[in-house]
Amino acid sequence: MDIVYIRDLRIETIIGIYDWEREVKQTISLDLEMAHDIRKAAETDDIEHALNYKSIAKRLIAFIEASEFLLVERLAEEIARIVREEFSVPWLKLRVSKPGALRYSQDVGIIIERGERP
């Protein structure tokens, strides 16, 4: 299985359950690994056969900046749905974290996998 990835994509959004979190944008960070057979893109050197990570990043940035979820879990599920449905990704592994959300910790968050490994 080939993996196309995006590492430490940082986006500002409203996220959290506390009153102050509903008023101030916070940074979230994404790590995204996506299954994609790269052989045709490598053979042809043609972007049409590649998984366009720039398009995926732009779509996720727009979605996340406009969102106002309470839980990181909900945000993660929506991100996974968008990537799988809109970009035909059969399997993904996603890490969503909130840097600085917990005192004495670099970040906190969740990791999910969705879909079947090819």
> Which are the catalytic amino acids?
98
DSSP class per residue in 28-57: EEEEEEEE---HHHHHHT-GGGS--HHHHH
16: nearest Cα among 67, 53, 55: 67
CA angle, 59 then 62 then 51, to 5°: 15
Sheet strand arrangement including 26-35: 3-13, 26-35, 91-99, 107-115
